[in-house]
A = this chain, B = another copy of it.
Amino acid sequence: MEMIIVSTGGRKNNDGEMNLTNNRQQIIDRTLKLYVAALSDAADEIGLNTVCMDRGIVPLTKKKRMAGFARTGKLVRSPPNRPYDEKQLDVFMSLGTEAVDGDLLVIDTAGATDCSAWGQVLTRIGKPLGVRGAIIEGTSRDIDDIDKMDFVVFARGRHPGTMRGRYDMESVQKPIVCGGVTINPGDLIFADGDGVVVIPPEHIEAVLKHAEGVVETDEWWANKLDEGKDPHDLHKERPIP
């Protein structure tokens, strides 16, 4: 399965397109030269469905741009009145400890916002392994510390509470939903201040090519407007980006 090939990062197959998606750093570098809205427009052009997370998923950290490949986790509510199983946290930590260079963690928390699913310890674990950032369908804490580590976190806000006793780990590296978008392990994730875009591996090459065209059209428009050209005329020549 493609998702496994991408998430392990190094393996090759005989399909050129697939080789490209496996070349993770190259894709990340190419993506980071663009901006999220250009990838969103490109995804529209090639007819993909919802690729943008909703506006409630916002950057919490000072650093706001990140690109990487989805490594996913799903949390669910802990049952009440039961001693907390500390072994849960070993599985949760494996989100970070088994990550590889170029991964970007995305955590689905079933919408709870009474505690945090990301903090400074996971950042300390994941960052040295090459984790590019974290996106939480819920809340995060320790952001001041995380800023000192120059890491990127997007979430629905901040909350000081621990997840211990409030969340159980349901799955690692299974499909999840975050910000209204379905995310499979290995999807390309790209975030900047405008939001977050999610591109399935089989569309990465096409989306990047189109997005590079979008950026070129933006520049063409900017230059023509600076020259004083009429926007309605420009729109006839090349539709407004």
Give the residue name and chain of the B residue nearest to A221 (CB).
B121
Give the residue name and chain of the B residue nearest to A228 (CB).
B128
Q: How many residues of A contact B (CB 8 A)?
A: 59
CB distance B221 to A97 under 8 Å?
A: no
- Residues on the B chain within 8 Å of A195, using CB: 141, 158-160
CB distance B197 to A160 under 8 Å?
A: yes
Using A120-B218, A121-B221, A124-B222 as known contacts, say yes or no to A52 and B160 having CB atoms under 8 A apart.
yes
- Residues on the B chain within 8 Å of A15, using CB: none
Most chain B beta-carbon contacts within 10 A, residue among A41, A142, A222: A142
**Interface CB pairs A-B, < 8 A, 15:** A40-B160, A44-B164, A50-B114, A52-B161, A55-B156, A86-B239, A89-B240, A90-B232, A93-B232, A96-B231, A121-B225, A121-B231, A124-B225, A125-B231, A159-B195
